[in-house]
Structure 1
Amino acid sequence: MVPETITTRTLVLAGAILLAFVILLPTAREYVTQSADLRALHADLAATQQQKADAQTALDRFQDPAFLKAEARLRLGYVMPGDKAYRVIDPGDANDGVSPITGKPVSAGVVEREGDAADPWYRTMWTSVQVAGTGVTTDSK
């Protein structure tokens, strides 16, 4: 008698394995995809939390009066009462010894701004508008 190479039992077992593979493959693929998405979302969450912490630190710095004074001096050019402020102008920017900002004569590339702290901002702006119409340029090219 010749042994059968493929039995009914083998066919049923192969069919069951194939059916399980077909049923479980999409589920396993979704699991892997969702795991990668979850890792990406956790990374985004960590980055967003770091940005929030950085923004909160910056916000907390603005609660300090000394920091506010320093920023006003640095960014806005504010001067404390009694201080004397100087603006150094690049010699290439000074045109015929006249300040492009105030229209006043410049000596040795330095403009002294002694009374600017008492001048209102709108007066400085209006002076700038008047100087802009005189043809004084700030380009040295």
Structure 2
Amino acid sequence: MTRRQRTERVPVRLPEQSARAGWLRSIRLSGFTIATLTVLVLTVVVLAPSLRIFVQQQQQIAQLRADVAAQKAGVKNLGDERARWDDPSYIEAQARERLNYVYPGEYSYLVIDDGQTVTTDDGQPISDKVQATQVDWIRMLLSSVLTAGLTEDKPGQIVAPVIKDKNG
């Protein structure tokens, strides 16, 4: 048998490493570390849904407590209102104000025209005369039905038809 010759070892220089790469290579994971990390991850996975449900229930409890407080305030207001109706002078004041009641021998004056002009929603004054429109409503109804039935436009795109009155 021939004996192998021993070769001389030549030192090899590795490329320079960054601080992060050196730090990552220095980490050694043991079996205990891996088991601990696994138990920690499983604990988080198992408890997360329960914690979410717990937080939701706490929010519901807070909302219900606020509702109960509002209801208690409403009950207190109604109790105060009921106590006012037990007072005869309050009942008298309400009857005079709401129902225009007066005692025998008193005179009640109602002001009908207090100088304010009554107007419509668009600001036009309301007339005391009956006005007749000159629009042919049958033709307008037929036009509306035909437009709605025969058009392929969307509802927001349909424009009301312009129909001239009988005089013009």
TM > 0.5 between the two?
Answer: yes
* Amino acid paired to 1:26: P
TM-score, L = length of structure 2: 0.51
Q: What percent of counterpart residues are identical?
A: 33
* Residue of structure 2 in register with 1:14 after alignment: 37
The Cα shift of 1:52 comes to 0.8
Gap change, CA 1:13 and 1:69, over 3 Å in 2: same
* Amino acid paired to 1:40: Q
Alignment equivalent of 1:28, drawn from 51, 55, 61: 51
Larger relative contact order (CA 8 Å, sep ≥ 6): 1
Gap change, CA 1:38 and 1:13, over 3 Å in 2: same
Gap change, CA 1:13 and 1:81, over 3 Å in 2: same
In structure 1, stretches of 5+ residues that fail to align are: 94-138
Count of residues in correspondence between the two structures: 94
* Residue of structure 1 in register with 2:102 after alignment: 79
SS of 1:88's partner is coil
Alignment of 1:58-73 (within 5 A): 58-73=81-96
SS of 1:11's partner is helix
Whole-angstrom CA distance in 1 between matches of 2:27 and 2:103 = 104
Alignment of 1:1-141 (within 5 A): 5-90=28-113, 141=128
Please list every run of at least 4 consecutive aligned residues from structure 1 whose deviation after the TM superposition is greater than 3 angstroms: none
Whole-angstrom CA distance in 1 between matches of 2:27 and 2:42 = 24
Whole-angstrom CA distance in 2 between matches of 1:91 and 1:71 = 23
Instruction: Indicate the structure with greater strand content.
Output: 1
Residues 13-56 of structure 1, C-alpha deviation per residue, up to 9 Å, x if partnerless? 11110111111111111111111111111111100110111011
Whole-angstrom CA distance in 2 between matches of 1:4 and 1:79 = 97
Q: Which one has the largest radius of gyration?
A: 2
Whole-angstrom CA distance in 2 between matches of 1:58 and 1:4 = 75
TM-score, L = length of structure 1: 0.60
